[in-house]
Amino acid sequence: MVAPFQLDSLTEAAPMSRRDRHRNTRPRRLRRVFAVVAPVALVLAAVFVGVRLSAAAPPAVVTSVIPTAGRIAASAVPLPWPSPGQSAVAVPSIGLIATSGPETAAPIASLVKLMTAYVILRDHPLQLGQPGPNITITQADLDDYNGDATNDEANAQVTLGEVLTESQVLGGLLVHSADNYADTIARWDVGSVPAFVDKMNHAAAQLGMDHTHYTDTNGFDQGGISTASDQLKVAAPDMANPVFASFVESSSITLPVAGTIATYTPLLGVQGVIGVKSGFTTVAGGCDVLAVRRRVHGLPVLILAAVTGQTGANAIFQAGLKALNLSNSVASSIDTTQMIIAGQVVAHVEADGRTVDATAESSAALLGWPGLTPSRVLVSNKPVADGTRRGTRIGSVVVALGTQRVLVPVTLRHDLPKESMTQRLF
């Protein structure tokens, strides 16, 4: 017998609400998101680590701890400044120019030819033993010679059509102080004497010869004026030119027509005198720029002295004698100045929060003079990496005064620290 159908005997499943269905799908979605995001995160993390570990560590910071300049203690150096006239001394290697006192521009006679030769050798340079281009004597050059002979000026004989080389003309105007040769080489260079004089004045301005004005090429015209110290500003680069130096060290020169003619420079060859140039006119008096070489504390030193405005008998010789006396006094007054001492700490090197000293490998001393200011500059070779070992050269200290230059190697006193893995990552 079939039991009668009863509604309450069956349990009917109620339909799921929207909220229940949402709860049921959330874990599946999170799992899908995680499955996508996790690999991406791992890749990004790997890239980050790779980049951080492969990146170069920042270079160490190098800081100089030496003053860049240190003035040599000033003190009075008594020099035998002559009177009357004006005088100056210079030592190019130590950057010294000293004068007898306040200067007044005055005629300087044939010292003018120091600039004439400077301009020619600057614009038409020669090598030692090289004759240079030919210069043909013109009627204007012959007229110059005849006029100079009449006026009793220093000269060297020429003939019309004679061919001289640049070297021969320079030798004639520097050794024998030939006024006509100065005009000849000026016309050959630029076409006329006035145009060449303009070049001389321009060159003087470039050399800082603020109290100099030229009116001719040879100094016979009394309108050309200068000072003793200004003349040393052109004599120094002149003497730095081996060709010029070879001319003024010659006691004579042999020319095609003029023959063998001697120097007017007094005391050449005496006590190491190697030139440079003398001059005389009744207005300028006796003038001489003198150069000597001396060994000072074992080093060769060029000393220049200029004396102008000397009077009396044999005024050129007196100017030369007083210039030599000045040079000898300067040589005995040059001293050495200790600039760097071996083992001296010259820099600090900072890496990873630690600072290591860098020291000078050797000592350095320069020739000096009271009141001058040498310079000391730290120059790095290349960036210094962390982990650099002690004793590694990281640069040099360049010590300089005048034309003197000394390089002192700089090395690490201790090892630089190396970045840890944690420091490299974070």
DSSP string, 34-54: HHHHHHHHHHHHHHHHHHHHH
Query: C-alpha 296: how far from its chain's center?
Result: 22
Name the band, by pLDDT with cuts 50, 70 and 90, for residue 233: very high
Extents of the domains making up the chain: 86-333, 338-425
Residue of 394, 360, 361, 388 lying closest to 66 (CA atoms): 360
* Mean pLDDT of all residues in 159-179: 97
- Residue 180: phi and psi, rounded to 5, are -65, -30
pTM: 0.79
Which pairing describes strands 299-310 and 335-340: parallel, antiparallel, or unpaired?
unpaired
Top-level class of domain 338-425 = mainly beta
Q: What are the tokens at 278?
A: 């003398």
Task: Please compute, for residue 361, the number of CA atoms within 13 A of its CA located in the half-sphere on the CB side.
Answer: 16
**pLDDT (average), residues 295-306:** 95
Please name the residues in contact with 382: beta carbons below 8 A apart, sequence gap of 6 or more.
none
The more confident residue out of 61 and 43 is: 61
pLDDT at 320: 97
Q: What is the mean pLDDT of the chain?
A: 87
Q: What band does 22 get if pLDDT is binned at 50, 70 and 90?
A: low
* Residue of 248, 252, 230, 229 whose CA lies nearest to 240: 248
pLDDT of residue 75: 80
Check pLDDT > 70 for residue 278. Answer: yes
- Compute the average pLDDT of residues 308-335: 95
In this predicted structure, which of 6-10, 137-141, 373-377 has the lowest mean pLDDT?
6-10
Amino acid at 295: R
Pairwise pLDDT comparison (11 vs 190), residue with the higher score: 190
Residue 418's pLDDT is: 73
Can you tell me the mean pLDDT for 178-186? 97
* Cis ω for the linkage preceding 84 (within 30 of 0): yes
The pLDDT, as a whole number, for residue 7 is 39
Query: What is the model's pLDDT at position 67?
Result: 79
Q: Which of 33-47, 329-343, 356-370, 412-426 has the lowest mean pLDDT?
A: 33-47
Rounded Cα distance, 346 and 411, in Å: 10
* Alpha carbon 56 to its chain's center: 37
Partners of residue 335 on adjacent β-strands: 368
Band (26; pLDDT cuts 50, 70, 90): low
Question: Could you read off the pLDDT of 81-115 as tens digits, one per residue?
Answer: 998 999 999 999 999 999 999 999 999 999 999 99
Provide the CATH number for the domain formed by 86-333 in this structure. Answer: 3.40.710.10
pLDDT given for residue 35 in this prediction? 61
Q: Please check whether residue 277 is in contact with residue 288, taking contact to mean a CB–CB distance below 8 angstroms.
A: yes
